[in-house]
Every structure is written in structure tokens, then in C-alpha cells.
Amino acid sequence: MLLRGLRWGLAGALVAWTLIRLLGLDRGWPLVPLFAFTPWVAAFALAVAIVAAVLRWRVFALVAGGCAIVLAVAIAPRVIPNRALEDAPGVRLRVLSANVAGETATGDDLRALIRRYRPDVLSVLELPPEVVRAYDAAGIGELLPHQVLEPRPGFTGTGLYSRIPLRAAPKPDTLFSIASASVAPEGAAPLELYAVHARAPTSPDRTAQWRSDLRALPPSGNGGLRILAGDFNATLDHHEFRRLLARGYRDAAEQAGNGVQMTWSVKRSFPPATVAIDHVLADRRVHVASTRIVTIPGSDHRGVLAELVLPRDTDRGGG
């Protein structure tokens, strides 16, 4: 009797999770942090369905299997690359989002990483003043000489390092400082870049602030192009993050078929506790050639490197 009760309690939990995800009802704490783990729940539901089928718990197997299928359908676009965009004409721009976790001792390692992956723009999160000084000493400015920086104590600062000239642009009103800049790559339409760090939704108050931060981010598609790169503390299974995408953006990793590659935390654990909360979001007119997950020296986050294809600027003779 106890086993039967546990079995149907689990079935009810899987059905509830699936309905909340399908209907976008993850609107508050603790649902917001929990639903970051939806890919793992989908895998768990599939495993449960297989075990139930072996044990001939037919109805239970059907319920768990149905939940696994519905969740898999929601996740599937993240692993199916949009091949039509890979060879799109335009101007290439490589953007690397890196949460450096305020680590001052890895300047030389970051310099080596920049040499290896050759980003045109580096979006840095958790950037305190002492890290800026460490990067200056390590010669980061020799590789990426143009900078718009918003260093802050602790983990609230952000910055943009670029090989292309930057001009500071108005920034949205968020809890953590957001470095923002306009840039005009040769031959491409001008655009704005934002180094984004939203607060982690780890309590009711912080979840409200997280939602406010995401809603404060500017839309794209109305006139100029925008690219948001950083630690959103959000995944594609969050209604609020999908709402942001609906305001004119695509998730680069999802477009490239890498949307289930996890970025935090790098620590191994069981059960798995890794989630995909670091992103590069690009205007829908920007194509995605490729993305990859990059190890960031000294950080508990992995970075996202996206090779984007910007539309040409015919007004400036770029066509």
C-alpha cells in the first residue's frame, strides 16, 4: 500500500511539473529555481517510465512516459541546429560571455583563452575593480583594447572588452550594473551590446528582483540590433526568460543545437545539479553560425562563445 501511494505521488508530481512547464506557470519562488532543472526531470521521467514498464506497472509507465515525451518535445529545439543559418551572408562577430567569479589570479589564463578563441567582444560578469587591475597587468587590453567597464565590489560588476571600437550607451535600470555599448563593425549594421548579470532567484525577494531585472532589459527589433551576453540566472524552461526572447531575440546556443550544454556549476554532483543559465541572445535578424561552451579559468561557470552573422549595412556601402 505504501509503495502504491509513493508511486502515484510521484506520478502526480511529474504531471504537475509537466503542466506547469507547458503552461508557463513558474511565476514565483520556489518554482523558478526548481524549473531550471527541467531537462533532468525529463530524463528522470523517462527512466521511471522504463522501470515501470519492466515491472509491468502499465498505467504508471504510461503516465511517466507521457510526461517524458511532453518535456522532451519542449526541450527538443535546443538540440536541433538551425542549419539554414550557418552559411548566411553577412559580417561575422564572435562574442564570448564569461562569468569570471571575481577571480584576480587568472589574468594570464584569460589572456591565453582570448588568444585561443579570438573573440571580437568579451562580456565579463562578476567584475570587481581588483579584477580589472589584474587584467590590465596581464595585458588583456593589448588583445581587446576597447572597453566599457562597470566594475563593482563583489559580484555585481560587468564589463565589455572588444577589439572593435566601443561607445558607451545608456544602460537599463537593474540591480547589478550592466555595461552597455554601441559598436559598428566594418560592413555591418550598427548594434548595441549588453553585458548582463541578473540576480539569482534564490528567495522570494530575490526572485522578484530577478524578474524585474529581466523585464528591464531592452527589446530588440525596433530599429537597431541588440545583443545580450551574460549570466541571466535563467534557462529556456523559465517563462520569464522565454518572455524576454519573445521581445525580439534568439538564444544562440539553441539555434546552434547546443542548448542543453550546461554552464553552471562546474562542480560534479549526484544527483546532477548543473543548469544552462549563461547565454548569448541576439536579435532575430542576426544569424548564428556556431556556439561552443568554454571553460573559464578560476570560475564556477562555463562561458558561451557564439559566432554570429550580422546583417550587412547597405546604408554604409557594406552590401
Q: What is the dihedral of CA 288, 292, 297, 301, to 10 degrees?
A: 80
Q: With 80 as the cut, is the pLDDT of residue 272 above it?
A: no
| Residue 141 and residue 267 share a domain | yes
Q: Report yes or no: 145 and 114 within 8 Å, Cβ to Cβ.
A: no
Q: What is the mean pLDDT of the chain?
A: 94
Residues 6+ apart with CB under 8 A from 287: 85, 86, 88, 90, 308, 309
pLDDT band at residue 222, thresholds of 50, 70 and 90? Answer: confident
The percentage of the chain sitting over the pLDDT mark of 90, rounded to a whole number, equals 88
| Residue 151 and residue 30 share a domain | no
pLDDT band at residue 221, thresholds of 50, 70 and 90? Answer: confident
Show the domain range for 62.
2-79
Cell of 94: 564572435
| Residue 99 and residue 40 share a domain | no
Q: Report yes or no: 88 and 308 within 8 Å, Cβ to Cβ.
A: no
Q: Report yes or no: 144 and 138 within 8 Å, Cβ to Cβ.
A: no
Instruction: Indicate the number of domains in the chain.
Output: 2
Q: For residue 132, what pLDDT is reported? A: 98
Question: Per-residue pLDDT tens for 84-93?
Answer: 655 678 999 9
Tell which of 79, 101, 127 closes a domain: 79
Question: What is the Cα gyration radius of the chain?
Answer: 21
Where b means 16+ CB within 10 Å and e means fewer, 109-133 reads ebbebbeeeebbbbbbbbbbeebbe
Question: Per-residue pLDDT tens for 122-138?
Answer: 999 999 999 999 999 99
